[in-house]
Structure 1
Amino acid sequence: MSTDKPRVRFAPSPTGYLHIGGARTALFNWLWARRTGGTFVLRIEDTDRERSTQQAVDAILDGLRWLGLDWDEGPEVGGPYAPYSQTERLAVYQRYAEKLIAERKAFACYCTREELDAGRKRAEAEKRQFKYPGTCREKPYDPSRPHVIRFRMPETGATTYHDLVKGPITTPHDTLQDEVILRGDGVPLYNFGALVDDIEMKISLVARGDDHVNNTARQILMYEALGVPVPVFAHLPMILGADKTRLSKRHGATSVTAYRDMGYLPHAVVNYLARLGWSHGDQEIFTLDELVQHFDFKDVGATAGVFNPEKMTWVNHEWMRKLPRDEVARRAVPYFRAAGLPAEDGEKLRHVADVARERAKTFGEMVQQFRYFYAPIQLDPKAKDKFLTPDARPTLQAIRDGVAGLPALETAALEKLFQDTAAARGLSVGKVAQPVRVALTGGTASPGIYDVVQILGRDETLARLDAAAKVIG
């Protein structure tokens, strides 16, 4: 494939948030632009006036920014082919439609909705597929009458093109019908609006979901009718849930920004999305530079990918473990604060981050698992009944007195304290540590007990051991 400065685009409809499928389409286009030194264009296809909202536009931009997919042209950054939203470009579509009408490659259709519905009902009764019968093909153009504009499709022959992902695709023309390209209010339908914008913005490669495969032959015929070069097409495989049905929220797939709110790292999401349909050998974990270096549409599979939330969480955990401790701490701050916990980017949180990143797979899990470092503990009833018993009182008191007397809470000193306490009572260190763990964290699972004491600090450790003694009675 040629890598001569391609121009690619991501053109979402702002009817909701940026979801997994759209994010992957944006990513593949972005990667190709960055690998080849090309241009990544963001365009907003907002012609669905009933469903398109500025809130959705903002959410899409927010999602792309969080993923790190910066655009070279588009909303907020401008560019030589502005504006980049379709509702601001209606005059452009009208101009192209009039050119096609003047060259008898399109025509005005005056058929009413009732007339077309009657034709559909007849076709249904006769058990055949409805196809526009060409009623208005030869009627003169009268812009004063209510009408739509239809493209004049050829009735014989076929269109064949080479898809970068799917290979050669052929569409017989007798399966097509004269397609509406412009509504009566001047708003283009998808095939025409996207095509005109791609022409105007000099898009050389159109990479989009394979639900658009059936649109491509129609668009190629329009490109040819307009006498302009046809771009290269790459139709990306569908993303399915584990049950092999189209991906939806019930499969655990939600908006990109929801994953941010759950505590996923943006690069981990990018890493997972890149592998959802694309591969480079058996490698699973990629830096962004590696993705840019290796990505190629020829390595995108033609079969549907399966979205696996557990796999994405695994990728996220791999990246959390790779991050420097201080960066994990810095990124964790807003998640603790969102939960109402007074975490600050200091040595305490850095220590929490150091022990937490091996256990917590997301920042959301980190807050959930380690909130006891910043909030009063919630004693697990089973742990309390099993470990905070009268027999444990002398052990807890010995640890309390030892912690109070240590000059500093160094690991070696704490280790000696626990070992000496265990030896004095004929217990294993584990038997000593477990009631202390329950007293300090509320449960039986935590990082190493020495880490817990060091993170809590002397005063909080003593206070919690005293509280546990009162619980025992």
Structure 2
Amino acid sequence: MTDRSAVVTRFAPSPTGDLHIGGARTALFNLLYARHTGGRFLIRVEDTDRERSTASAVQAIFDGLAWLGVAADAEPVFQHTRIDRHREVVAELLAKGRAYKDFTIAEELEAERAAARAEGRVVRSAWRDRDPAEGGDRPFVLRFKSPLEGETLVDDLVKGPVRFQNKELDDLVLLRTDDTPTYNLAVVADDHDMGVTHVIRGDDHLNNAARQTLIYQALGWTVPAFAHIPLIHGPDGAKLSKRHGAQAVGEFAGQGYLPEGMRNYLARLGWGHGDDEIFTDAQAAEWFDIADVVKAPARLDWAKLNFVNQQYMRHADDARLTEMVAAVHQSRDVTITEAGRARLAAAIPLVKEGAHTTLELADLTAFTLLSRPVVLDEKSRKRLDSETLARLGRLHDHLNSEAQWDAPSLEAALRKFAEIEGVGLGKFGGALRSTLSGAASAPDLASALTALGKAESLGRLGDALSQPA
């Protein structure tokens, strides 16, 4: 059997913006495959474009990964620190006769491109077989000398065998005129030096795999296994874009999704384990195999995401949810007193099963943080006619006599009061709800009373009774 511990995967983002959901899933798949095989997961920041790779852009990537809970097994590698090594590799290719100096000027290159388009072939430089001494001290790029015959096979773990005709692969630039490396060269050098055995990335890189395979072979290096996973599309099947809603991990965090819920959902985007919808991180690592990833693009399904996240909301620690929901309220400019936080904490376990996100949970708990007297809307005020106010006064006294202030006891107390009054709960339930929560959402009456506590509940009820009709 193959030594499973030898597997090394990597996630190599370009820090040009926030961590996209597609990149987050790629990172997760790399992590899961490393865990599944007992291997290692690494991170490399591809930041050779120094103008676009700002410190804030790099931090945005790390923040997204940290929120998602995807951590590497070693310190991250920054590609820009390895430029000298990239130049060494190009020098080796040049010495092997697998690279050449191209002194073509811009006008000549444009003419060659036009001719190549007209003839239906790839661009080939006239300097491929010329003596570089003829170039003198003119500026040049260093190009890879691709084979002109045969084919290059990429035996992809997701796509299956993909064959590329070498005559259709151009002589890609390895070093620019300013002596900086290009993407394909740097990736090969870095993956080789980092010991990467499995390159798992989006299928928009499939064409790069053929070019990179040729570079590996020219250097006499072992070609890693490639796995190109389909992109994520919107619900309508089109490429994911802003019109479909959130795209960056930070946006999903801001919309109130839990990181563990996102991990579960992202793992199911293009991969699955039978009919299992909800599973732990340990189960995902045990079950995940990159060979099981489907070939077709996955579709972002908001209803499924909400369902998955709701399952995690139900089992999340109440104290943790309280802190998260309190932060949501504060972002809405709601002041939270010590007593208000206690009411919020009491409400969380009573209402969390009905929430898909922490934003929804904030909506469901807003009633606990209302200032007294609770402001009633016109509809609520109309409920408080003289008969209803009199009944609420008797209810106030009835509840005041309750020794046990918990949901089961209060539910029984409300039913008992209805029996005493000889009416159904509907005769006073709506008015009671209004006095407790105004127009805000609230759980069932017994739960609302429990969350507010006895003093606050009776205080809000008393406020309504003392207001002028």
TM-score, normalised by the number of residues in structure 2: 0.92
Partners of 1:121 and 1:387 in 2: how far apart?
Answer: 79
Residues 289 and 416 of structure 1: CA distance in aligned 2, closer, same or farther (over 3 Å): closer
CA-CA distance at 1:121 after TM superposition: 4.1
Partners of 1:416 and 1:132 in 2: how far apart?
Answer: 83
What amino acid is the match of 2:423? Answer: L
Corresponding residue of 1:438: 434
Corresponding residue of 2:357: 362
Q: Is the 8 A contact 1:434 1:444 kept in 2?
A: no
Corresponding residue of 1:311: 304
What do residues 99-139 of structure 1 show as CA deviations (whole Å, max 9, x unaligned)? 11111101111112232223334555x4x556323211123
Residues 395 and 50 of structure 1: CA distance in aligned 2, closer, same or farther (over 3 Å): same
CA-CA distance at 1:410 after TM superposition: 3.8
Corresponding residue of 1:403: 399
Pair 1:149 & 2:150 matched: no
Partners of 1:444 and 1:193 in 2: how far apart?
Answer: 57
Residues 411 and 97 of structure 1: CA distance in aligned 2, closer, same or farther (over 3 Å): closer
Q: Is the 8 A contact 2:344 2:365 kept in 1?
A: no
SS at match of 1:52: coil
Pair 1:22 & 2:23 matched: yes
Residues 410 and 296 of structure 1: CA distance in aligned 2, closer, same or farther (over 3 Å): closer
Residues 368 and 130 of structure 1: CA distance in aligned 2, closer, same or farther (over 3 Å): farther
Partners of 1:133 and 1:409 in 2: how far apart?
Answer: 83
Partners of 2:408 and 2:288 in 1: how far apart?
Answer: 49
Pair 1:209 & 2:210 matched: no
CA-CA distance at 1:331 after TM superposition: 4.5
Residues 227 and 321 of structure 1: CA distance in aligned 2, closer, same or farther (over 3 Å): same
CA-CA distance at 1:153 after TM superposition: 0.8
Corresponding residue of 1:42: 43
Aligned ranges for residues 336-351 of structure 1 at < 5 Å? Answer: 336-339=329-332, 340-342=334-336, 348-351=343-346
Quote the sequence identity (%): 38
What amino acid is the match of 2:73? Answer: D
Aligned ranges for residues 60-459 of structure 1 at < 5 Å? Answer: 60-75=61-76, 84-122=77-115, 126=118, 128-129=119-120, 131-141=122-132, 144-339=137-332, 340-342=334-336, 348-376=343-371, 381=377, 383-384=379-380, 387-411=383-407, 413-443=409-439, 445-459=441-455
Residues 117 and 376 of structure 1: CA distance in aligned 2, closer, same or farther (over 3 Å): farther
Q: Is the 8 A contact 2:344 2:368 kept in 1?
A: no
SS at match of 2:45: coil
CA-CA distance at 1:201 after TM superposition: 0.9
Partners of 1:253 and 1:161 in 2: how far apart?
Answer: 34
Gaps of 5+ in 2: none
Partners of 2:166 and 2:419 in 1: how far apart?
Answer: 88
CA-CA distance at 1:263 after TM superposition: 2.0
Partners of 1:234 and 1:221 in 2: how far apart?
Answer: 17
Partners of 1:349 and 1:97 in 2: how far apart?
Answer: 62
What amino acid is the match of 1:96? Answer: V
What do residues 41-76 of structure 1 show as CA deviations (whole Å, max 9, x unaligned)? 10000122332211111111111112221111233x
SS at match of 2:163: strand
Partners of 1:448 and 1:395 in 2: how far apart?
Answer: 19
What do residues 390-420 of structure 1 show as CA deviations (whole Å, max 9, x unaligned)? 4421222222233334345244553354234
Partners of 1:355 and 1:264 in 2: how far apart?
Answer: 19
CA-CA distance at 1:287 after TM superposition: 0.4
What amino acid is the match of 2:206? Answer: V
Partners of 1:116 and 1:382 in 2: how far apart?
Answer: 75
Partners of 2:225 and 2:271 in 1: how far apart?
Answer: 19
Residues 409 and 4 of structure 1: CA distance in aligned 2, closer, same or farther (over 3 Å): closer
Q: Is the 8 A contact 1:120 1:130 kept in 2?
A: no
Q: Is the 8 A contact 1:43 1:74 kept in 2?
A: no
Q: Is the 8 A contact 1:158 1:170 kept in 2?
A: yes
Partners of 1:143 and 1:30 in 2: how far apart?
Answer: 49
Gaps of 5+ in 1: 76-83
Q: Is the 8 A contact 1:390 1:472 kept in 2?
A: no
Partners of 1:264 and 1:101 in 2: how far apart?
Answer: 51
Kindly tell me the number of residue pairs found equivalent between the two proteins. 463
SS at match of 1:43: strand
Residues 95 and 444 of structure 1: CA distance in aligned 2, closer, same or farther (over 3 Å): closer
Partners of 1:223 and 1:399 in 2: how far apart?
Answer: 81
Q: Is the 8 A contact 1:437 1:444 kept in 2?
A: no
Partners of 2:344 and 2:367 in 1: how far apart?
Answer: 12
Residues 64 and 343 of structure 1: CA distance in aligned 2, closer, same or farther (over 3 Å): farther
CA-CA distance at 1:149 after TM superposition: 1.1
Q: Is the 8 A contact 2:367 2:441 kept in 1?
A: no
Partners of 1:234 and 1:472 in 2: how far apart?
Answer: 72
What amino acid is the match of 1:425? Answer: E
Partners of 2:364 and 2:424 in 1: how far apart?
Answer: 26
What amino acid is the match of 1:342? Answer: I
What amino acid is the match of 2:392? Answer: L
CA-CA distance at 1:147 after TM superposition: 1.3
SS at match of 2:51: coil
What amino acid is the match of 1:358? Answer: E
CA-CA distance at 1:273 after TM superposition: 0.3
SS at match of 1:184: coil
TM-score, normalised by the number of residues in structure 1: 0.91
What amino acid is the match of 2:11? Answer: F
Q: Is the 8 A contact 2:7 2:34 kept in 1?
A: yes
Partners of 1:460 and 1:155 in 2: how far apart?
Answer: 82
Which segment drifts farther, 111-120 or 154-163?
A: 111-120
SS at match of 2:226: strand
CA-CA distance at 1:334 after TM superposition: 3.3
Partners of 1:395 and 1:110 in 2: how far apart?
Answer: 94
What amino acid is the match of 1:403? Answer: L
What do residues 175-232 of structure 1 show as CA deviations (whole Å, max 9, x unaligned)? 1111112212222221111111011111111000000011111111110000111000
What do residues 11-55 of structure 1 show as CA deviations (whole Å, max 9, x unaligned)? 000001111100000001101111222111100001223322111
What amino acid is the match of 2:383? Answer: F
